[in-house]
Amino acid sequence: MTDLSRAGDRPVLRLRDASVAFGHRTLWSGLDLDVAAGEFITVLGANGSGKSTLLKAVLGLRALSAGSIEVLGRPARRGNRSIGYVPQQRLIPAGTPMRGRDLVSLGVDGHRPGLRLRGRRAIAARVDAAIEAVEASRFAARPVGQLSGGEQQRLRVAQALVADPGLLLCDELLISLDLHHQRAVSGLVDRRRRTAGTPVLFVTHDVNPVLAMTDRVLYFAAGQHRLGVPEEVLRSDVLSELYGTRVDVARIGERLVVLGAPDHHQPHHPDRVEVHP
């Protein structure tokens, strides 16, 4: 990991007094965050609380209203190749004329096909290695539109990793996946950060599939935030203070469930919510 070796003991990602507002509405403010190599940060909160906006700010796609963001010691900017990004899942239509490995190769040079004329063998080797790392070799030659949601997500993770990033951002990586695929895909991300030291910002609607991997939780609500290890943040008293109303955190079996948090939406169980953002 060239970028990480240059970083030394410096945080891979640093935010200082960072704020984002839309008009008179503040999504979050005063955020100080240092993310070290190999750290797994799970980002939670109500719908519209600013979780995905945080990732866009790190990517240089959304300007802060105040404060600063640095990635590997440099200000956040668009097109930073040191960042791997897995966006929210959108199933690829069945007739899409693209193989799985073609999707992964977009992570090398994006939509600049002219660059592929140089170093084709090296690029192919990097694509093959990324596909193998996410255990997708058996279906990488198939059209992406014929693959399941879990298979497509594996390839998106490979696409984010193929450029050997120093930071990995995941936005609702597990949404619409069944429990088996949630565990498999989140395990791929966890293995990357453990073996390569790539830190992860992981936005999710349910903390449970990644709770054992999580070093710290960043929870957004009501224009505020809380940051700490899961045991410090995912507590009734902490979330009640954050939301300004009674919120209960219950453990049901091995799962954490948040009860009564405003702006959480669960069509079939409006009064019971699993730590959704």
127/160 Cα distance (integer angstroms): 11
Higher pLDDT: 66 or 267? It is: 66
Domain limit, last residue, from 164, 189, 206: 164
- The verdict on residue 171 lying in a domain is yes
Q: How many domains does the chain have?
A: 2
Q: What is the pLDDT of residue 117?
A: 46
**Residue 136 and residue 177 in one domain:** no
Domain limit, last residue, from 149, 164, 179: 164
Q: What is the pLDDT of residue 7?
A: 45
- Convert the pLDDT of each residue in 36-63 to its tens digit: 999 999 999 988 899 999 999 999 999 9
pLDDT band at 110 (very low <50, low <70, confident <90, very high): low
Strand order in the sheet with 13-22: 25-35, 13-22, 66-71, 74-75
- The verdict on residue 146 lying in a domain is yes
Higher pLDDT: 68 or 222? It is: 68
- Look at residues 241, 244, 275, 243 and name the one whose alpha carbon lies nearest to residue 259: 275
Domain residue limits at 77: 1-82+165-228
pLDDT band at 265 (very low <50, low <70, confident <90, very high): very low
Domain limit, last residue, from 124, 146, 164: 164
Give the CA distances from residue 186 to residues 87, 140, 159, in Å, rounded to whole numbers and listed in that order.
14, 19, 15
The two three-digit tokens of residue 219, written as one number:
């929870």
**Residue 203 and residue 132 in one domain:** no
- The verdict on residue 38 lying in a domain is yes
pLDDT band at 5 (very low <50, low <70, confident <90, very high): very low
Q: 129, 163 in Cβ contact below 8 A?
A: no
- The verdict on residue 249 lying in a domain is no
pLDDT band at 271 (very low <50, low <70, confident <90, very high): very low
Q: What is the pLDDT of residue 264?
A: 53
- The verdict on residue 274 lying in a domain is no
The two three-digit tokens of residue 142, written as one number:
């198939």
- The verdict on residue 131 lying in a domain is yes
Tell the residue number behind the tokens 């999710």, with chain if given: 204
Query: What is this structure's pTM?
Result: 0.86
Higher pLDDT: 41 or 3? It is: 41
**Residue 185 and residue 57 in one domain:** yes
The two three-digit tokens of residue 273, written as one number:
């919510």
pLDDT band at 122 (very low <50, low <70, confident <90, very high): confident
DSSP state at residue 91: P
